[in-house]
Amino acid sequence: MTRRYFGTDGIRGTVGQPPITADFALRLGHSVGQVLRRALGPSGGRPATVLIGKDTRISGYMLESALEAGFASAGVNVLLTGPLPTPGVAYLTRALRLDLGVVISASHNAYPDNGIKFFSARGEKLPDAWELDVEAALAQAPEWVDSARLGRARRVSDAQGRYVEFCKSTVSGELTLKGLKLVVDAAHGAAYQVAPAVFHELGAEVVSIGCSPNGTNINDGVGATAPQALVAAVKEHGADYGVALDGDADRLQLVDADGRLYNGDELVYLLAMDRRAQGEAVPGVVGTLMTNMAVELALAGQGMELVRAKVGDRYVLEELVRRGWLLGGESSGHLLALDKHSTGDGIVSALQVLQAVQRRGQSLARQLAEVKLFPQTMVNVRLAEGSDWTRNTVLAREIDAVRQELGRHGRVLIRASGTEPVLRVMVEAPDAAVSRAQAERLAALARA
């Protein structure tokens, strides 16, 4: 069975257009409630309980109410946190011993979009099989419970404070950020209150930007997907570092005092090296198909393996669990340290990086001096309806030829987009001109 509603990170789309409508959210809450009750089985009369958090989009009110009604109609209790980062929902779901976590967010998208994603009782992304069960339930008639068994709802008044304390607990008790000046950019999103609080309570002088949400300005010119605002603010305020999160605060971009931006590939390498310096065993790191080859070579030089998963932090997580490893991430800034949290967390990742800087006594630039990222050129080729690029034999031969020319000093990645009729052609090489020329060469053949 193919998934109709779920994508790589839950269900997402434009508000007011299926499936991001109030009536669908009600049906979804009811269907998830049915799946949850069946999975729990007889529980001595204890109703299932779910936690719902959201970012700052104006549409969050509508979707929250609809989901709450859907869960209640299936006999499931609901706890509401209000605005809270996605990793905060994952943490509280686990800490409060709840049955499911729900996040209303479209992450880094602009405010006209929204989405709904789920976490297990362990605070982990749920597998494809669970999503297929939910889609099957959506196709079935509802099973309304009688009035005596309807679910109840209440607010969790201290959700943000609990999450702030959790974030602080993920670093050494000896870590202090006193003497550091930080710019914190929360993208006018879910972390607009908690992110400045975490860094301030650890001693930093905090300059906040992107912390004034109005329901329609999330990710608008600020945050991890628009780091130029952070670079400018770091320079303006003479800050030591800048931390940018996205709308739901599960990804991180970091800037140093010189305005240099560090992506997720560099930061996961830094964390691996810091763990190794502390005497921990780090057999390898999980990246994705897009992880920069320079990081792979740098890790190999240190005796650590890079394993590539499909694009998406859920696939990085699955590979980490399968191998029993702890560190992984994406270049976009989704970083995973499974001994600190069960999911990607922008605030926790930033604290891990700042801790590495402090205890090694070297700047980020110094610690990453040996990692020279290869230029990557990505060309999107719009495919004609019904076309099958895998049958393009001329393109296949040219891909092989380019790979032979690049040898061990470059990569070719061709993949179809999962969300639109587009073929993504990526070539990576030490020389930007070579990368660009080879990518255009392959893209031209893909269009033919």
Catalytic residue ranges: 107
> How many whole angstroms separate alpha carbon 283 and alpha carbon 304?
5
